[in-house]
Structure 1
Amino acid sequence: MQQQKTCPVVVIGGGPAGLTAAYELQKRSRRHTPKVYEASNMVGGISRTETNNGYRFDIGGHRFFTKVKEVEAMWHEVLKDDFITVPRLSRIYYREKFFDYPLKLFNALVNIGPYESMRILLSYFKWQVLPYRKEESFEQWVINRFGGRLYMHFFRSYTQKVWGINPKDIRADWAAQRIKNLSLFKAVWNAISGANDTASLIEEFQYPRLGPGMMWEKTQRIVEEQGGEVHLRSEVVRVNREGNRVTSIEVKHWHEDGREPVVERVEGEHFINSMALRELIYAFDPPPPPEVVEAASKLRYRDFLIVTLVLDHADPFKDNWIYIHSPEVKVGRIQNFRAWSKEMLPDQNTASIGMEYFCQKGDGLWNMSDEDLRTLASQELEQLDLAKASDVIGAAIIRQPKAYPVYDGEYRQALDVLEEWLVSLENFQTVGRNGLHRYNNQDHSMLSAMYAARNILGEKNDVWNVNVERSYHEEFEVDKKPAAQVKTALAAE
């Protein structure tokens, strides 16, 4: 084992949170030199942009919109003129029809028919008179605001597809975080009155012209140009501590040519983590108290894979993406990457279509061969009448473990135990989506990392309770025309 001299700040993970922490440190202090260790061969985490035969594609779509000024400032400091403005169009496919998304009330009611529309309204009034007194589950939270019928149509099936568990077993605080301040009454009132109490913030959005990975690839270069280090294929396998102070990490460096990995010990004064909490706790040496280890074992994650199909013609549909609620197919969301940026494609006479599947590592979908996944995705694209399977001329498959932290019945109590122990460490902070086990967007992850970096420089920020204004999450938006829009609980960035 090689011995390395002390590094002032060690950063675990090269996703948006880890790289933001490194960038923020260098921006605010010349004396702190970060070293970033990323287990995969690319920076960006689930915000990276993969490439296959010249076609660039996201691991899910990532719009760049925020009300957090310092996050927006960093985006533009890094990318400068490499942002483009993209008109936003997305829809929901349900019952062989397309519904505008965010849901426009009258469009949804026309599509679903007058009889069922009346049942939706009656159901809403019923639940306003006799609501659940305690909102413990996602299902209870949504029904109290939309009624049982609308929940059944636009929340239950898709939520089950995304998370793989009954919505009754998802905690209400996930719904409150992602879709707060919504109700059917508010949508109806705005549709009647033409009121617009929330600006339509994302009818268009900014996007790096070569995909979100462009942001993090350039951040990596800036960190390295300023004297920092970013190590890829470098898996943190142990976090060494003495009492309540972390002293070093042990990193397993993997070689592209298949040679035996080299293990290196890296010492530091401060440590910022963005790897998944469960694996982090397991990596501590000596281990945390038994109740902390037990709490970590209760955290669960939802995995994800994308089958990107290349078609022999451009733009089979005009949307940036489509949510697929229909239970007849396994695909959950479909991206049209040319509608995000034409520069994502080397040939403008083709299409690059991302078929996204939510799954668990080791299940039937995850273990399917690449060829079988290509066949499945091609057949489902045809089944949805978006393109023919015979139009497919190429494919690339990416499997992404731990894409989404799960908010099940055990997570909150377990997370409280982990937080209490982790904040007792003097020189160690954890940030980001998996580092906080919080289903937040890219900008929220970045802000938590900025706060951690500033804490090293003497501030007293609570990274566990970053207060991000949620109105930009499309919670409730109304066009200037009198057509209300309602956001359903769909997987986002």
Structure 2
Amino acid sequence: MEPQIKNPLIIGAGPAGLTAALELAKRGVTSRIYEASGNVGGLARTQSNGDFLVDSGGHRFFTRYEKVAELWNSLLPPDQWTTVRRRSAMVVHGHYVRYPLVGRDLLTQMGFRRGMRGLGSFLWSRTRRGMQPAGDSASFRAWGTEEFGRYWYEMFFDGYVRKTWQADPDGIASDWANQRIRSIVWHLRKRFDAADQDVFRYPRRGPGQVWDAAAAQLAVDGIVPALSSRVVKVRFDGQEWTLELHSGELVSGDVVFSSMPLRSLVRALEPTPPQHVRAAAARLKYRGLITVAVALRGRHDIPFHWIYTPSKSVEVGRIQNYDRWSSGLAPDGWDGTFLGLEYFIGPDGDVYEHDDEHLTCIALEDLRTLGIGDSDVEQVMVVRSPFAYPICDAARDRNVARIRNYLLRNYPTLRLVGRNGMHRYDNQDHAMLSAMHSVAQYFGDDVDPWQVNTDRGYHEAGLLKKEVGL
């Protein structure tokens, strides 16, 4: 018999939480949403400072799932979407080297000697690959050395991964890399550009435009997310759930869809889970993200959306060129340069450790080192995102499985959704699909949210017909 949800509670108003609320509303069920921050959208929010808009992390709207594309299309009209061909580069030895890496560039762009050394290392790794494949359990270093050869791995990826993950590559699992890092493109055609194969959509006013629209749609049904409402306790008496907010307010319901960080959820649960479950949760780690958005009055012709910076000479891990994402992120008529410098904070760090002035100094020094300069700064905006990314260390799968199995056995009306809720390094569309499947599963459909994003070869490239309105 299909369960009857009467009073669902949703923790978190990011893509997963809002999608869960929309799916419940389609079934005629009114939910209540509690969000710790002052915004909807989670990491995919859009922060503003006047007419300058900041996308923290860079959110490409790409999916292979028609249900997700249909939801996006229902939230924003066609004139609010742009179609973008991604162009990315890595700054190495003063060169902007296209990413995904192209064999022709590697052999010619940085000189004959470096090209031949890299090729020799690459061929040696491929010779050994047949005998000793790295496999799914390999560390990132082992995977990267096998995939690119030691020379090109160390040139392009070792330093970048150390910055973004704030960890030694030997201690990071490689499974996420199969989806996030592209192989070298060996094409002889001079005009070949990998960006031609990497197309995505983007909201004209940034990713938060979609989630503000989702919140507005929910409001029509009387569902208004409670912002700045951090959940500190999650209690279950065998029949009913009670959430305690940081304000002391108590709210009750019959099912909980949680996208709060899984480690925090386990800590908040009452009755207290057994020691082995709490220990597994304590071992889950997260990275924070600080985006320092700098508007320069001068025009710098940077033909890339993302610029990766593996060099130790700068602290920034990646730079977004907002001009290339959408002209709507800057004021009308803006003819300057608008950049977002991304700084990644390790599991033991605090995104609030340094004030805005200190972070601004670091960002401007990095711009000088990279040759962009800072003499014509219009304004600077700092956006902090704690718990931005779950860390995929070697013990992640085992710890998550232990927690998941315990919760399934003891709390069938507690459903985990989204990147942080499931502690998975998912894309935005995967987080949404996990919420769709979680709601559907609770109503008896034969779907499993834990089977979302299990394709090791998944890459963001190309558009569904439904995405372009065909």
Q: TM-score, normalised by structure 2?
A: 0.89
Map residues 169-318 of structure 1 onto 2, 5 A cutoff.
169-179=171-181, 187-188=185-186, 191-192=187-188, 200-202=196-198, 204-243=199-238, 247-252=241-246, 261=247, 263-318=248-303
* Partners of 1:102 and 1:474 within 8 A in 2: no
Alpha-carbon spacing, 1:341–1:62, altered in 2? closer, same or farther (3 Å) = same
Give the corresponding residue for 2:364: 378
Give the corresponding residue for 2:339: 353
The letter of the residue matching 2:54 is F
* Partners of 2:51 and 2:330 within 8 A in 1: yes
User: Are 1:85 and 2:83 an aligned pair?
Assistant: yes
* Partners of 2:101 and 2:183 within 8 A in 1: no
- Residues 66-100 of structure 1 show CA distances to partners (whole Å, capped at 9, x for unaligned) of 11111111000111222122343221111111011
Give the CA deviation at 1:241: 1.4
Alpha-carbon spacing, 1:178–1:346, altered in 2? closer, same or farther (3 Å) = closer
* Partners of 1:240 and 1:247 within 8 A in 2: yes
Is the deviation greater in 221-230 or in 33-42?
A: 221-230
CA distance in 1, matches of 2:347, 2:284: 15
CA distance in 1, matches of 2:415, 2:273: 15
| Structure 1 unmatched ranges of 5 or more | 1-5, 253-260, 478-493
Give the corresponding residue for 2:149: 147
Give the CA deviation at 1:134: 5.1
- The structure 1 segments of at least 4 consecutive aligned residues displaced by more than 6 Å after TM superposition are none
Structure whose residues are more often strand by fraction: 1
Give the CA deviation at 1:108: 2.4
CA distance in 2, matches of 1:402, 1:171: 19
Is the deviation greater in 443-452 or in 314-323?
A: 314-323
Give the corresponding residue for 2:23: 24
Question: How large is the Cα RMSD of the aligned pairs?
Answer: 2.4
Alpha-carbon spacing, 1:460–1:199, altered in 2? closer, same or farther (3 Å) = farther
Give the CA deviation at 1:139: 1.3
Alpha-carbon spacing, 1:317–1:452, altered in 2? closer, same or farther (3 Å) = same
Alpha-carbon spacing, 1:316–1:372, altered in 2? closer, same or farther (3 Å) = farther
Alpha-carbon spacing, 1:458–1:162, altered in 2? closer, same or farther (3 Å) = same
Give the CA deviation at 1:322: 1.1
Give the corresponding residue for 2:158: 156
Give the corresponding residue for 2:70: 73
User: Are 1:327 and 2:315 an aligned pair?
Assistant: no
The letter of the residue matching 1:370 is D
The letter of the residue matching 2:430 is H
CA distance in 1, matches of 2:217, 2:256: 20
Give the corresponding residue for 2:104: 106
* Partners of 2:322 and 2:339 within 8 A in 1: yes
The letter of the residue matching 2:162 is Q
The 3-state SS of whatever aligns with 1:122 is helix
* Partners of 1:12 and 1:274 within 8 A in 2: yes
Across the two proteins, how many residue pairs are aligned to each other?
Answer: 449
Alpha-carbon spacing, 1:288–1:362, altered in 2? closer, same or farther (3 Å) = closer
Map residues 53-64 of structure 1 onto 2, 5 A cutoff.
53-64=50-61
Is the deviation greater in 278-287 or in 377-386?
A: 377-386
* Partners of 2:241 and 2:252 within 8 A in 1: yes
Alpha-carbon spacing, 1:376–1:208, altered in 2? closer, same or farther (3 Å) = same
CA distance in 2, matches of 1:438, 1:421: 18
* Partners of 2:241 and 2:254 within 8 A in 1: yes
Give the CA deviation at 1:404: 1.1
- Residues 288-322 of structure 1 show CA distances to partners (whole Å, capped at 9, x for unaligned) of 11100010000011111011112113455232221
The letter of the residue matching 1:51 is S
Give the CA deviation at 1:150: 1.8
Give the corresponding residue for 2:468: none
Q: TM-score, normalised by structure 1?
A: 0.85
User: Are 1:42 and 2:28 an aligned pair?
Assistant: no
Give the corresponding residue for 1:257: none
Give the CA deviation at 1:226: 1.6
User: Are 1:165 and 2:151 an aligned pair?
Assistant: no
Give the corresponding residue for 2:388: 403
- Residues 193-231 of structure 1 show CA distances to partners (whole Å, capped at 9, x for unaligned) of 99x9x99542x4211111000000010011111232311
CA distance in 1, matches of 2:229, 2:352: 24
| Structure 2 unmatched ranges of 5 or more | 463-470
The letter of the residue matching 1:398 is V
* Partners of 2:288 and 2:350 within 8 A in 1: no
- Residues 455-487 of structure 1 show CA distances to partners (whole Å, capped at 9, x for unaligned) of 232213221221465656258x9xxxxxxxxxx
Alpha-carbon spacing, 1:12–1:318, altered in 2? closer, same or farther (3 Å) = same
